Structure 1
Amino acid sequence: MKRKVRKKVEGQTAYYHLMSRTVNGEALFGDREREVLRKMIWQVADFSGVRVVTYAVMKNHFHLMVEVPPVTEVSDAELLRRYRRLYPKPTPWNPMRAEVLEKTLAEDGEEAEILRKNLTRRMHDISWLMKTLKQRFTLWFNRSRERFGPLWCERFKSVLIEGDRWALRTVAAYIDLNAVRAGLVEDPKDYRFCGYGEAMGGSRLARKGLMVVDRDLAGYRQTLYGSGGGEKEGKVAIDREEAVRVLEEEKGKLPLSVILRCRVRYFADGIVLGSPEFVDDHLKSEQDGRLRPRKPLQMRGADWRGLSVGNGMRKNLFG
């Protein structure tokens, strides 16, 4: 069943949390595969004119948080730069060399106009971004494994996020804590396949992305770990199993830094996330024939500072 992509408001910058998982959730990606996918994320995003705010590449899925600017005219020089970034050399599915594109654009004839339209329509669009990324990685993965057939279990999931600093920071922290939730590392700075880990490793591009959610990485780290920069000596930490029990059985609340270490389906299945007003405006613009239209639902389980979603998901919300 085709999943509906959350629409952004025309003429405005939009933010999305995007996610895709392997067939049957199989853990197919080792260090080499995750490194290739990490590099492809930056490559395809650059071509698309989309900013990667942060990301996490795991053994059987990946997350992306992106900033999609309004559609603007792309100069021929920039179009050529982006083309060279995505196609540094000819491929069987795209045999045209960059030199041929450059010459055609310079001639500025009918063929040049067709090429401009075909290339620019793939930009500033999360559907084309994810389609290109997943197809390119699948081709590489199947070829490297002498494998054939589908790699991904579905198209992709998307949640539209309000461009509010708190909403963006909360979703970004949830993404960067993926490896901590999976038990791969104790600190996301030690996981090289996520935006925060790459930023702490010295990547200026990754740091620039995270500056969207916090101008200071030290401030962002407080969201990852609570009011301090890490666990305090003598402080008893609640384990994940106990946290889920408190959330599901007791319908209780936990500190934000604790709940972000649990699986929270709001971030992948919430449709739209932000203030009640933002969520309501979006839900009204996407009336889909329901007898009882969706309304904003306040997020539960922690002090989310007023954040709401478009889908409450009563069962298996936490894990």
Structure 2
Amino acid sequence: MQQFEQLKHRGIYHIYSHGVGGRDLFRDSNNYDYFLALYDKYISPIARTYAWVLMKNHFHLLVRIKEEEEVVASPTPDRVLNPIRDKNDNSLKIGTPSQQFSKLFNAYAQAYNKYHKTRGALFERPFKRKLIDNKAYLRDIILYIHNNPVHHGFCEHPVEYPWSSYLSCISMKPSKLHRKAVIGWFDDKANFKTMHNQKVDVFEMEKWLEI
């Protein structure tokens, strides 16, 4: 857990939100895929992602907000794919973390309503965020995030659920997820799997995490 002390001052956050009024955020695989594409566009430039899960009507993220020099040094997908950009398109300009998350939610809500022929607000505002200020919270929130689908009855083990970072953590495939740090917080991949194989009392964890 030494890596935690090195990252502590940089702002590691547990971020989560629900659909407003219990509204579904994701209805089909296209919704999940599109949200992740927008997440990469708007959030990857300003944050490093360590864990995530997308549920039917809510989501959880574990991210570290980048320092200013990291944001400047890290090109967005738009800069790579489309170096000649419309100067009037504010969606391509990197703002504060809160502004970037607002862009994500607004862009997704507009596309979601158009796709499903619905209307109205989609996400609860403001989104919830908790600063990770101790080692126990850091590891437990990863277990909590990955076990969310188990808790809600979508599967019996995190490996069975496609819309979380668990599969990326145990895979060797290229990923923008910062899994090396995640595995390090669990000492090694074997212990990471072992701890995820143990039953997690999500109700008790939610009380402790104040979710």
TM-score bucket (shorter structure): 0.7 to 0.9
Paired with 2:158 and 2:70, the residues of 1 have a C-alpha distance of: 38
Pair 1:219–1:180, CA change in 2 (3 A): same
2:39 aligned with 1:41? yes
Match of 1:191 in 2: 161
Match of 2:14 in 1: 17
Residues 15 and 161 of structure 1 are in contact (CA less than 8 Å); yes or no, is this contact kept in structure 2? yes
Match of 1:110 in 2: none
Q: For structure 1, which runs of at least 5 residues remain unmatched after alignment? A: 1-10, 90-97, 105-114, 227-256, 270-319
TM superposition score normalised by structure 2:
0.78
Paired with 2:65 and 2:134, the residues of 1 have a C-alpha distance of: 11
Match of 1:51 in 2: 48
Tell me which structure has the larger Cα radius of gyration.
1
Aligned-residue CA RMSD (Å): 3.0
- SS of aligned partner of 1:140: helix
2:53 aligned with 1:82? no
Paired with 2:67 and 2:128, the residues of 1 have a C-alpha distance of: 21
Match of 1:286 in 2: none
Identity of aligned residues (%): 22
- SS of aligned partner of 1:53: strand
TM superposition score normalised by structure 1:
0.54
Pair 1:141–1:208, CA change in 2 (3 A): farther
Q: How many residues align?
A: 198
Paired with 1:268 and 1:18, the residues of 2 have a C-alpha distance of: 13
Paired with 1:44 and 1:212, the residues of 2 have a C-alpha distance of: 27
Match of 1:140 in 2: 111
Residues 157 and 197 of structure 2 are in contact (CA less than 8 Å); yes or no, is this contact kept in structure 1? no
Pair 1:73–1:44, CA change in 2 (3 A): closer
Match of 1:260 in 2: 202
Query: Between Structure 1 and Structure 2, which shows a larger proportion of helix residues?
Result: 2
Match of 2:141 in 1: 171
Match of 2:4 in 1: none
Match of 1:220 in 2: 192
Greater RCO, CA 8 A, separation 6+: 2
Q: For structure 2, which runs of at least 5 residues remain unmatched after alignment? A: 1-7
2:34 aligned with 1:62? no
Paired with 1:60 and 1:260, the residues of 2 have a C-alpha distance of: 17
